[in-house]
């Protein structure tokens, strides 16, 4: 989804995972620099230090950049295309949702062993995949409606005998997105 270009007095930088600048068409984290930057997060020094850093391209002069956590790529016309969040955070109906909160709530449902919340962009909904004792998704959904605020309740629940894991033993979210 195209999200536009930088506003006057600001500049966008896209950094790949290795810390180098992305070329047009390459995916990376969107960082902002310029007059538009805030001083940081009010009352949250740790988050400020993690999100507002020295621009690695201009080390010789003070030049702060803001790490948005959004993964984007630059299109041929200079517009940016939003891909996803770097940290799995979901933006839905004006709310910032941490999937981990949904997953913790789901894991507290009797019989659920493991859970992963994935955002299904094309349908604009959260899908919860869960494993453990086989039970109807409507049962899990009813339990989540009690444990979570309404805006965090998944739009769909899917039971799997086992959730896929990568080589590091973490839930393989890319594999789950392919199931959608």
Give the span between the Cα atoms of 27 and 16, in whole angstroms.
7
For the stretch 67-117, pLDDT in tens is 998 889 999 999 998 887 777 778 888 888 889 899 999 999 999 999 999
Reduce the secondary structure of 102-153 to three states and give it as a string.
Answer: HHHHHHCCCCEEEEEEEEEHHHCEEEEEEEECCCCHHHHHHHHHHHCCHHHC
At residue 111, φ and ψ (nearest 5 deg) are 95, -15
Mean pLDDT of the chain: 90
Give the span between the Cα atoms of 80 and 5, in whole angstroms.
6
Query: What is the predicted pLDDT for the residue at 23?
Result: 93
Give the span between the Cα atoms of 61 and 74, in whole angstroms.
26
Give the span between the Cα atoms of 35 and 10, in whole angstroms.
6
Comparing CA positions, the residue from 60, 49, 57, 52 lying closest to residue 22 is 57
Q: Domains of the chain: which residue ranges?
A: 2-85, 90-179
Reduce the secondary structure of 50-96 to three states and give it as a string.
Answer: HHEEECCCCCCCCCEEEEEEEEEEECCCCCEEEEEECCCCEEECCEE
- Max distance between CA atoms of the chain, in angstroms, equals 59
Residue whose structure tokens are 């993690």: 50
Is the CATH number 1.10.260.40 carried by domain 2-85? no
Give the span between the Cα atoms of 84 and 170, in whole angstroms.
19
Query: What is the predicted pLDDT for the residue at 168?
Result: 74
Q: Identify the CATH assignment for 90-179 out of 3.30.300.30, 3.40.50.620, 3.40.50.2300, 3.40.30.10.
A: 3.30.300.30
Residues of the chain with pLDDT under 50: none
- The answer to whether residues 117 and 103 touch, using CB atoms and an 8 Å cutoff, is yes
Residue whose structure tokens are 């941490």: 98
């Amino acid at each position: 989804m195209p999200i536009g270009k930088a506003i006057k007095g600001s500049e966008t930088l896209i950094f790949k995972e290795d810390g180098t600048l992305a070329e047009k068409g390459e995916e990376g984290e969107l960082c902002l620099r310029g007059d538009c930057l805030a001083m940081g997060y009010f009352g949250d020094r740790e988050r400020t230090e993690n999100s507002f850093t020295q621009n690695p391209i201009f080390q010789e002069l003070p030049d702060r950049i803001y790490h948005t956590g959004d993964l984007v790529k630059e299109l041929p016309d200079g517009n940016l295309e939003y891909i996803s969040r770097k940290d799995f955070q979901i933006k839905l109906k004006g709310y910032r949702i941490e999937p981990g909160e949904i997953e913790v709530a789901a894991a507290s449902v009797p019989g659920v062993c493991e859970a992963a919340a994935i955002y299904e962009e094309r349908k604009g909904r959260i899908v919860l995949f869960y494993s453990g004792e086989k039970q109807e998704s409507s049962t899990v959904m009813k339990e989540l409606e009690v444990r979570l605020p309404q805006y965090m309740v998944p739009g769909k629940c899917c039971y799997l005998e086992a959730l896929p894991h990568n080589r590091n033993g973490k839930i393989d979210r890319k594999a789950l997105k392919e199931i959608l």
